[in-house]
Amino acid sequence: MRDAVLGWFDVHGRDLAFRRTRDPYAVLVSELMAQQTQIGRATEAWIAWMARFPTVRALAAASPADALRQWQGLGYNRRALNLHRAAKAIVAEHAGVVPDAVADLQALPGIGPYTARAVAAIAFGRPEGAVDTNVRRVLGRAVAGDPARLDAAELQAIADAAVPRDRPGAWTHALMDIGATYCRPATPRCDACPVRPWCRFAAAPPPPRSRAAPGTANEPHFPGTTRWLRGRIVDRLRATDGWATFDEPMGEHDEGAVERALHGLAREGLIELEPGAGSGMRARLPVA
C-alpha cells in the first residue's frame, strides 16, 4: 500500500507552492494556514505571508497586529497570534532556528501534535506520522474499516509504523491529498483511490448517509453566530489604525452581545481594550 500511495503521489500529487520548500519556518506557516482552510486560499495567503515575513526573526520583530492583519481572510485568528508567539519563542529559546524534535516543536505556543509531527516529517525528514482529520480517515478506514474503531493512541501507532523512513514528507502530503481527493467523509471515491486494494472500508462500505435538506436546523445562520460577530470585530480593527469605538449593534447582535464579544477577544489576546473609555468601548489590535 505504501508503494502504491507514493507512486500515485509522484504522478498525481497536488503541486502547491508551499510544497516546493523544506524551509522549516515556511513549512510551519503552511501547516498552520492549511488547517480548516481551503487549500487554494491557504496557498495564496502563504505566498503573501512569506513575502511579508520571510523569516522567523522578521515575524518575531513584527507586532501581533501586523500578524493579524496579514492573516485576514483565513479565519481562526488565534492561529495568527499563536504563529507570532511561536516565532518569538523560537528566537528567544532556539536562537531563531526552528527545532527539529517533535517534543520541542510541540512545546511552542499553539503547536499541537499534528503540526509538530508534520513539520518534523516534511521539513526535517523525520519518520513521524502526522495525524489530522484526513490522515485519520484514510488510515482508519484502510486498517479498521472505520476510524471510530481505533482510539487516538492506536491510530498514532499505525501512522508511525506506516511512515516510509526515506520519504516521510512525501508520505504526509500523499495521505493529505488522498483524503481530500478520494477518501472524503460523506462521498468517498473508492473506485479511483490508490489505497483501495488494501482498504477494509472499500471492501464493505457503509450505506451513504442522508444529507439534511436545505433550511433545516443543521444549517447555521451565520450573521447570528458569535463567531460571525467576533470575525467582524477583528476585521474592523484590521482596517483601523489605532483605536476604534464600538457603541452600536453589529448585524443581529445588540450592544450587550458586542460588549461580551469584545471582552472575550481581549481575554484571548486577540484585541486590546482601552481602559477608562467614555461612551462605548474602544478597542485595537494588540501592539505588543
Give the pLDDT confidence of 65-111 residue by residue, as tens digits: 999 999 998 988 999 999 999 999 999 999 999 999 999 999 999 99
Q: Which three cell numbers stand for residue 222?
A: 451565520
Query: Confidence class of residue 192 from pLDDT cuts 50, 70 and 90?
Result: very high
Give the mean pLDDT of 255-273. 88
Q: Which residues are catalytic?
A: 31
User: What pLDDT is attached to residue 140?
Assistant: 96
Give SS3 for 244: strand
Q: How many DSSP H helices and E strands does the chain contain?
A: 14, 3
User: What pLDDT is attached to residue 214?
Assistant: 44
User: What pLDDT is attached to residue 279?
Assistant: 58
Neighbours of 182 (CB within 10 A): 19
User: What pLDDT is attached to residue 200?
Assistant: 95
Q: Residue 284 forms beta bridges with which residues?
A: 272
- In percent, the amount of the chain with pLDDT more than 90 equals 67
- Provide the mean pLDDT of the chain: 90
Q: Where are the beta strands (DSSP E) in 56-204?
A: none
Give the mean pLDDT of 253-270. 88
Cα angle 77, 78, 80; round to 5: 70
Q: Identify the sign of the CA torsion 113, 171, 136, 82.
A: positive
Does the pLDDT at position 271 exceed 50? Answer: yes
Distance CA 121, CA 114 (A): 11
- In percent, the amount of the chain with pLDDT more than 70 equals 93
Type of residue at 59: L
Cα angle 41, 105, 93; round to 5: 115
